């Protein structure tokens, strides 16, 4: 188990840090679920959304026999502890009846914490940065749109990661928009 503590976290004060969330949905009214999840993040005390990517339609990864996803990335500034952000993400999934029957299976909504500032955490509950974010075009492409200067801890600039990733299954849906 690795946790990168800083003095402020240990004293109960958490500095303002950038947090990146990846949201996806491939069941039911996908846009309604994504909008609801973004609204729930927006309503979270201690979290201020600074940027939201456009909506992307993406092919599933891993378990391929399932509907395509709609994905967005939300970039926020936050004073919340990383574990509190994870708890909020899981609570949002629960509100929208996320079921975890099959790993990587279909879902109403998925809210992943991708990174929180420069934090490096590796516990049973949370790994930051997200251990597969650097490989996932459905995270990287919308993230680059939301924050063109983004960099992923331990992996470098997101723009470079996108250049080295197969993005063929990621299509910007200009007809859809998160409010």
- Active-site residue among 17, 30, 88, 112? 112
Torsion angle of C-alpha atoms 33, 37, 42, 46, degrees rounded to 10:
170
Active site residue 107: yes
> 34, 25, 41, 36: which is closest to 75 by C-alpha?
41
Alpha-carbon torsion 27, 28, 33, 35, what sign?
positive
- Kindly name the residue from 17, 30, 88, 107 that is annotated as catalytic: 107
In the residue annotation, 68 being an active-site residue is answered as no
List 17, 30, 88, 110, catalytic entry:
110
DSSP symbol at 127: E
Tally of CA atoms within 13 A in the half-sphere of 4 that contains its CB: 13
Which residues sit opposite 92 in a β-bridge?
none
Is residue 62 within a helix (H) or strand (E), and if so which, with residue range? Answer: none
The pair of structure tokens assigned to 42 is: 């927006």
Residue 112 a catalytic site member: yes
Question: CB–CB of 58/170 below 8 Å?
Answer: yes
Catalytic one of 17, 30, 88, 98: 98
* DSSP state for residue 134 in the 8-state scheme: G
Respond yes or no: is residue 98 known to be catalytic: yes
Alpha carbon distance 8, 3 (integer Å): 14
* Catalytic site positions: 98, 107, 110, 112
């Amino acid at each position: 188990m690795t946790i990168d503590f800083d003095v402020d976290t240990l004293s109960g004060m958490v500095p303002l840090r950038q947090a990146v969330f990846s949201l996806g949905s491939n069941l039911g009214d996908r846009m309604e679920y994504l909008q609801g999840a973004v609204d729930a993040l927006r309503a979270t005390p201690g979290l201020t959304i600074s940027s939201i990517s456009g909506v992307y339609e993406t092919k599933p990864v891993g378990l391929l026999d399932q509907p395509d996803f709609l994905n967005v990335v939300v970039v926020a500034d936050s004073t919340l502890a990383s574990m509190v952000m994870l708890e909020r993400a899981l609570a949002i999934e629960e509100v929208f009846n996320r079921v975890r029957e099959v790993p990587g299976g279909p879902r109403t909504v998925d809210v992943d914490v991708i990174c929180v500032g420069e934090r490096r955490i590796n516990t049973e509950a949370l790994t930051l940065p997200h251990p597969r974010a650097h490989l996932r075009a459905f995270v990287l492409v919308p993230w680059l749109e939301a924050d063109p200067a983004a960099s992923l801890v331990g992996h470098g600039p997101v723009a470079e990661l996108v250049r080295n990733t197969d993005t063929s299954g990621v299509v910007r849906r200009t007809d859809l928009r998160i409010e």
